[in-house]
Amino acid sequence: MKESKPAPRKTKRAVRTLGPEKTAQIYAALARDRPDPHTELKYINPYTLLVAVALSAQATDVGVNKATAKLFAVADTPEKMLALGEDGVADYIKTIGLWRNKAKNVIALSRILIGEFGGIVPSTREELMRLPGVGRKTANVVLNEAFGQPTIAVDTHIFRVSNRTGLAPGRTPDEVESALERVTPPEWKHGAHHWLILHGRYVCKAR
């Protein structure tokens, strides 16, 4: 009887990482290209930003902006959105993927904002993530854009750029976010999210 041979071990591929000097050079170059980076989503106030980011899941910013231009013209506060109702919201966002569920979440989060936060968008990740349809990525975008906090929301673009360049390699978005928090110099942290997402969207594209 032949002895069974153990399966060969898979060798781990070495992860290329960058040093502090190279990391700083990358951010400096991105900052020169876009000195004042912001989200490409159109919004009026923190509430409409929250809604726009929640709607942008599995959708393009261009598509969301087309839908929200008319929606926000009639409902730019939780109270107005609640008055519009789920069916009313749905009529404006039917061109966006998963619109039925998103309309339900927009009404639900609006109701919670009114009932628990006085109609004001909270400025902590924990409170934001209590809202329907708001995950860590959405919360981080709102915290960065609306409240100026140095958060980084890792989407597919930032995940790709971070791994491809060796800036902040990771197997999951959470790992990449943690790595970016560690390696990004303090002076670049606020702009890092926008610089990386725009670089991934327009320069370091998916192959």
Tokens standing for residue 160? 């790709």
Catalytic-role residue among 61, 155, 189, 205 = 155
pLDDT tens string 92-139: 999 999 999 999 999 999 999 999 999 999 999 999 999 999 999 999
Task: Quote the mean pLDDT of the chain.
Answer: 92
**Residue 76 near residue 89, CB atoms below 8 Å:** no
Ordered by start, the domain boundaries in the chain are: 46-147, 151-202
Is residue 137 part of the annotated active site? The answer reads yes
Catalytic-role residue among 102, 137, 174, 205 = 137
Model pLDDT, residue 49: 99
Domain topology for 46-147 = Endonuclease III; domain 1 (1.10.340)
Model pLDDT, residue 11: 41
pLDDT tens string 55-71: 999 999 999 999 999 99
Is residue 33 part of the annotated active site? The answer reads no
pTM: 0.87
In this structure, the number of other CB atoms found within 10 A of the CB of residue 85 comes to 13
Q: How many CA atoms lie less than 13 Å away from 30 in the CB half-sphere?
A: 27
Identify each DSSP E strand in 15-142 by its residue range. none
